[in-house]
């Protein structure tokens, strides 16, 4: 049997973008893109060990009680697997240790940050050093944004990309570092993969609405030092086909593939070339 790229998309407790993410994985070439309820993992009926690419999709985990994704982060840190001595966090850290891929979008990014998975400085994946908090506008932002890619970033998802155009839809998307030294290290190690910018992709901006939430240093997405763990507030799964573009009926030369699909294609390519 040919080896398969196996992606898993976790759902439950308020996630609402799981089908779009699974579709993006399939369009990108993953042979398997399973949508799995968190309860199935905690019951031991499904194991992360059987997959290569873990996706934490957007939504409103636990109604954003305690702040976006905070309750979900506590659950994943401490929840034990039924009938086992193992915790779900044990599987997760083994998954990361084996060089597999984790991508969090919007609420999934918030979850990774609050678990300490990102930015994962010094490969410490348990200590929270940054957060995502309320937008400076004081309201939910639903708009399309231009994103500048750092070509020197180790991020495997953005390889060969210079800029992408994706929608945001969030109320707590402002990236904040707890200490200046943390932000300086993120910048020094080129972990700030994506930054909000103007339409020409020339330079990061703090100007609203191009920067929809007021993120420090215009940061829209970060990775860890391996480039395998990646989180971003904009939604790549929401632009995988030309008809998802807000001006698709007016733009004459849009390619069939939407820009968001590129991130998933890079992930699938990495799994096929490095993990199979």
Q: Which active-site residues does the annotation give? A: 106, 235, 237
Query: What are the beta bridge partners of residue 131?
Result: 176
Q: Which residues pair with 146 in a beta bridge?
A: 165, 197
Both tokens of 212, joined, read 């929809």
Give dist(CA 52, CA 267) in Å, integer. 10
How many helices (H) does the chain have, and how many strands (E)? 7, 11
101-105 and 194-197 as β-strands: parallel, antiparallel, unpaired? unpaired
Distance CA(138)–CA(52), nearest Å, equals 38
Q: Which two tokens stand for residue 41?
A: 């993992």
Do residues 18 and 57 make contact, with C-beta atoms less than 8 angstroms apart? yes
Omega cis (within 30) before 209 = yes
Cα angle vertex 78, ends 44, 264, to 5°?
Answer: 65
């Amino acid at each position: 049997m040919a080896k398969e790229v196996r992606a898993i998309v976790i759902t439950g407790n308020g996630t609402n973008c799981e089908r779009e993410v699974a579709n993006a994985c399939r369009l990108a070439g993953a042979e398997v893109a399973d949508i799995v309820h968190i309860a199935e993992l905690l019951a031991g009926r499904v194991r992360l060990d059987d997959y290569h690419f873990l996706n934490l999709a957007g939504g409103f985990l636990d109604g954003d009680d305690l702040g976006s994704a905070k309750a979900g982060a506590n659950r994943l840190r401490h929840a034990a697997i039924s009938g086992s001595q193992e915790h779900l966090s044990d599987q997760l850290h083994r998954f990361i240790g084996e060089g597999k891929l984790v991508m969090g979008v919007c609420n999934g990014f918030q979850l990774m940050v609050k678990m300490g998975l990102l930015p994962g400085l010094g490969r410490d994946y348990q200590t929270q050093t940054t957060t995502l908090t309320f937008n400076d506008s004081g309201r939910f932002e639903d708009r399309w944004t231009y994103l500048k890619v750092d070509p020197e970033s180790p991020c495997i998802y953005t390889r060969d990309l210079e800029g992408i155009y994706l929608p945001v839809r969030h109320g707590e998307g402002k990236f904040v570092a707890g200490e200046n030294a943390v932000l300086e290290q993120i910048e020094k190690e080129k972990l700030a993969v994506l930054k909000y910018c103007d339409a020409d992709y020339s330079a990061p901006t703090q100007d609203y609405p191009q920067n929809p939430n007021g993120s420090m240093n215009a940061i829209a997405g970060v990775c860890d030092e391996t480039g395998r763990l990646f989180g971003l507030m904009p939604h790549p799964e929401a632009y995988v086909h030309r008809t998802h573009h807000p001006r698709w009926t007016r733009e004459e030369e849009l390619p069939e593939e939407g820009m968001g699909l590129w991130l998933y294609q890079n992930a699938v390519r990495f799994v096929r070339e490095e993990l199979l």
